[in-house]
Amino acid sequence: MTVSPLSERKETILQGDVRASADANLTLSTVLGSCVAICLYDPLNRIGGMNHFLLSTPQNPATASDCDTDYGLYLMELLINEMFKLGANKTHMKARAYGGANMNRDLAPIGQSNAAFARTFLRDEGISLVYEDLEGEVARRVDFRPATGQVRVRRIASVDPATLPTQIPQAGRKRDLGTVELF
Amino acid sequence: MDQTSAEQAISVLTVDDSASIRALLRVALTSRGFAVQQAEDGQEALEWLAANEVDVIITDINMPRLDGFGLIEKLRSSALHADRPILVLTTESSEEKKTRARSAGATGWIVKPFDADKLTAALRRVAH
């Protein structure tokens, strides 16, 4: 099938975003430093999606887990549920994982913690991690076509780490955390 | 099913297809003194509840086989669990889904990611 360039669309996925689609003309694009993006796709139903997260490391690593996994779990579940709504089946899902660079050798290896979370989550959920391009020290631009699962990655050696997010916007996302409404 | 028991503890059945969420809930609730049972979807929960009782049920919405709405409707039509407190714990934020859960007979609605202290306060409030 020939696809008209005019019908091609690109959407940018920012930190904290989740997007799923079955649109064959759509590319999801993101730039990753320490952040991790999981590209999930169901090849049978031709549905895919991407998220983009950065998990904070605890203030005291001796008393807490390696990172803020609650937030990562939330963004992974949101992605899976968005794909369910489009008709995807979890047993068909495959994953590609990108990012998690340790951009500054003098800081805690936050990228490594984020990559570790991604691997552990996918293993625990029984989702096959068919490809990973994680860790290292350079930023990446990832273009993902959700309907086909195709990915193009470019390494961005010259990116200024200061332009990439290294902190979670805690105040914003924690505000309504776990709101309870009793009927 | 995983089981952790504690004498006199409020017993909770959590229903979620995500192994990661189940682990998170198990740790959060057992460390706060609750006795926790876990099911992977509505169907497994329904089968377990046919022969067992708990004080409170926490259920996800999007699950294979039998989803949270289906589970609530089936429990509300059963004599054993017609009045059982059921809290929905979900990533769904739409008013339409919340209204549907309320109509089906849910006791409360909690949006993920959950705050363990708020969740346990709600559990203690609805447990009879």
Higher-confidence residue of A107 and A103: namely A103
- A159 falls within a domain: yes
> pLDDT at position A169, please?
47
**Residue A6's pLDDT band (boundaries 50, 70, 90)?**
confident
H-helix segments, chain B: 19-30, 42-49, 68-76, 95-104, 116-126
Write the CATH number for A59.
3.30.1330.200
Please determine, for residue A66, whether its predicted confidence score (pLDDT) is greater than 70.
Answer: no
- A182 falls within a domain: no
Inter-chain CB proximity B19 and A124 less than 8 Å: yes
Cβ-based neighbours of A131, under 8 Å, separated by 6 or more: A96, A97, A151
- A34 falls within a domain: yes
A127/A172 Cα distance (integer angstroms): 30
> pLDDT at position A171, please?
37
> pLDDT at position B72, please?
97
Q: Could you list the residue range(s) of the whole structural domain that residue A72 is in?
A: 5-174
Structural domains present in chain B: 3-126 (3.40.50.2300)
Q: Which residues on adjacent β-strands are paired with residue A51?
A: A18
Inter-chain CB proximity A124 and B111 less than 8 Å: no
Q: Chain B residue closest to A85 (CA)?
A: B62
Q: Give the mean pLDDT of A51-60.
A: 73
Please determine, for residue A174, whether its predicted confidence score (pLDDT) is greater than 50.
Answer: no
- A79 falls within a domain: yes
Q: Give the mean pLDDT of A105-119.
A: 85
**List of chain A residues whose C-beta atoms are within 8 Å of the C-beta of residue B109:** 180-181, 183
Which residue ranges of chain B lie beneath pLDDT 50? 4-6
Asked if A177 has any chain B CB less than 8 Å from its own CB, the reply is yes
Query: What element of type H or E holds B35?
Result: strand B35-39
Number of domains in chain A: 1
Q: Give the mean pLDDT of A125-135.
A: 96
Of residues B20, B64, B114, nearest to A124 (C-beta): B20
ipTM of the complex model? 0.83
Cβ-based neighbours of A129, under 8 Å, separated by 6 or more: A95, A96, A97, A119, A122, A123
- A105 falls within a domain: yes
> To the nearest whole angstrom, how far is the Cα of B65 from the nearest Cα of chain A?
12
B79/B95 Cα distance (integer angstroms): 29
Q: What is the mean pLDDT of chain A?
A: 84
- A31 falls within a domain: yes
> pLDDT at position A104, please?
76
- A120 falls within a domain: yes
> To the nearest whole angstrom, how far is the Cα of B48 from the nearest Cα of chain A?
22
